[in-house]
Chains A and B, each alone.
Chain A
Amino acid sequence: MPPVAPRSGDAIFANVERVNAELFTLTYGAIVRQLLTDLEEVEEVNEQLDQMGYNIGIRLIDEFLAKSNVSRCNDFRETTDVIAKVGFKMFLGVTASVTNWDADGTCCSIVLEDNPLVDFVELPDNCQGLYYCNILSGVIRGALDMVSMKTEVTWLRDVLRGDDVFELQVKLLKHVPEEYPYKDDE
């Protein structure tokens, strides 16, 4: 069977079931607000959003691979490129770009100029330290975990903190070799 060409993010987005983004935006906002009420420290909210995102990411990667026709990515650079061009478009309907590669090809930035999570959002002064979109860093880390790449994802720029774009730094910590559940020699 000849390999099928990878599908573009736009093509996938046009074919998946979609919902009004306002439901998603307002639900996320209400969750963040409830977490701020329930947890004592803003840093705990950041951690919880990251954990929620991780749990979502480890499941979204399955849908992504099932629908995108992406075959094995050969390296970290190719993987992040696919996430930015296909993954963000497929799920959020927005385009992300990859920049600021280091010499080793193990660290880069994913830049979002448009982000449906923050429509209608303003942060009050007592929420300094909150990474409102921290769920996204967890999603990326979780998804990459499932394709054997241990990463560290941190925010470099945040529109809600006065920057002009959202910028996530993704650093590859370790590429875990794939382990088979059986032994060939038995």
Chain B
Amino acid sequence: MVREVSESCIDSLLTEMVACYCNRFYANKPELAARRIEAIGYQVGHQLSERYTMDRPRFTDHLEAIKFICKDFWSELFKKQIDNLKTNHRGTFVLQDNKFRWLARMSIDPSTENVSPVEDITSPTAESKAAQAMSMHLYFPCGIIRGALSNLGIPCAVSADISNLPACVYLSLSHNLEKTF
């Protein structure tokens, strides 16, 4: 029997972590806030990949490790597998989740933002503010994936695309093919 907590605990913690770094510590430095949030995710991913691979034999190649991330690792975190995995066979992979759990309750509707009265409610500024807030939340899962793969011997860079929120999240990871097991 594995120990569990209510999902509200992790949801609340993530929301407050992002608010803490984006609104309090680095209110005017989104790049610094993003780096901190990603670093926290990296550490979590690094540790989780050890927990989830304890009983598994060593992966024989990169693709097998990345498939592990798409199936078992993703299921542990998000209760579903990655919906689609694509690769250009030159070290870049795109992982597509059609209903990313941690953003499922977020809206990109500009009318819910705190726009100033003089600002057009449909202006690009209002929308970009919402998109920016949304993207801050994605630095954490990007960090998790990068941490997990680094611990499995695949140093990489991970970025996220949020163009179809909240339906779809693309994580793109690239690594140096010269690295061998």
Contact = CB atoms under 8 A, between A and B. Distances in A.
A27 B5 contact: no
Contacts of B3: 20-22, 93, 116, 119
Given A20-B76, A23-B44, A23-B77, A31 B17 contact: yes
Given A20-B76, A23-B48, A90 B6 contact: yes
B19 A26 contact: no
B19 A55 contact: yes
B106 interface: no
Given A26-B44, A26-B47, A31 B4 contact: no
A50 to B, nearest CB: 12
Chain A CB within 10 Å, residue with most, of B7, B8, B9, B77: B9
Interface in B3-50: 3-10, 12-17, 19-20, 24-25, 36, 39-41, 43-44, 47-48
Contact of A38 (B5, B14, B25, B41): B25
A47 B14 CA distance: 18
B2 interface: yes
Interface of B: prevailing SS: helix
Contact of B43 (A23, A30, A60): A30
Contacts of B24: 48, 51
Interface residues of A, number: 32
A20 B44 CA distance: 13
B16 A56 contact: yes
A22 B10 CA distance: 10
Majority SS at the chain A contact face = helix
Interface in A46-77: 48, 51-52, 55-56, 59-60, 63
Interface in A1-37: 13, 16-24, 26-28, 30-31, 33-34
A12 B130 CA distance: 33
Interface string A92-117: 11000000000000000000000010
B55 to A, nearest CB: 15
Given A26-B44, A30-B40, A55-B19, A16 B8 contact: yes
A31 B16 CA distance: 11
A91 B40 contact: no
B5 A21 contact: yes
A30 B44 CA distance: 6
A132 to B, nearest CB: 14
B7 A19 contact: yes
B12 A59 contact: yes
A48 to B, nearest CB: 7
Contact of B36 (A26, A34, A56, A92): A34
A20 B5 CA distance: 7
B20 A48 contact: yes
Contacts of B25: 38
Interface in B75-124: 76-77
B4 A19 contact: yes
Contacts of A48: 20, 24
A20 B77 CA distance: 8
Contacts of B10: 19, 23-24, 27
6 contacts: A22-B48, A24-B13, A27-B10, A28-B13, A55-B16, A93-B4
Q: Can you list the 4 inter-chain pairs with the closest CB atoms, starting with the nearest?
A: A18-B4, A17-B7, A21-B3, A30-B43
